[in-house]
Amino acid sequence: QVTLVESGGGLVQAGASLKLSCVGSERTFSTYAMGWFRQAPGKEREFVAAIGRSGTNKYYAASAKGRFTVSRDNAKNTVYLQMDTLKPEDTAVYFCGATLRGDFHLWYTVAAYDYWGRGTQVTVSS
């Protein structure tokens, strides 16, 4: 059982930056690929970014590419999401997920993840 705890959300103005963190409980954290998803009110949870076990392979949604950067520090059991040039449409609850699935094609899908955090709210005002 892996417990994930997100932090770093908040209320910011458009154009600002935020850095989200997700800390995992397991010593085997490095064996999981990690993903960031977000869910706005009335919408489905959507993929934002994913990172492989070593941190070398990274994948982004089109909406995040060029503005968001995913990274991880396995020594700290932590994955990060640096979000720059935030827009009002980025407003959502952001979740991190952990998956043991090795096929990166699956990392874009909610169903691929074995564990989820409770999320952190990001609100971007115009």
pLDDT in tens, 77-112: 999 999 999 999 999 999 999 999 988 899 999 999
CA dihedral 91, 19, 63, 67 (to 10 degrees): 130
How many Cα atoms occupy the beta-carbon half-sphere of 117 within 13 Å? 27
**Exposure of 1 by Cβ count < 10 A (0-12 exposed, 13-18 middle, 19+ buried)?**
exposed
Q: How close are the terminal C-alpha atoms of the chain, in Å? A: 40
- Residue 71's pLDDT band (cuts 50, 70, 90): very high
Neighbours of 40 (CB within 10 A): 14
Kindly state the tokens that stand for 52: 């492989």
Report, in angstroms and rounded to the nearest whole number, the Rg of the chain calculated over CA atoms: 13
Q: Quote the pLDDT of residue 34.
A: 98
Say which DSSP state 88 is in.
G
* Percent of the chain clearing pLDDT 90 (strictly above): 92
CA distance 16 to 124: 8
Residue 1 scores a pLDDT above 90: no
pLDDT (tens digit, 9 = 90+) per residue, 5-21? 999 999 999 999 999 99
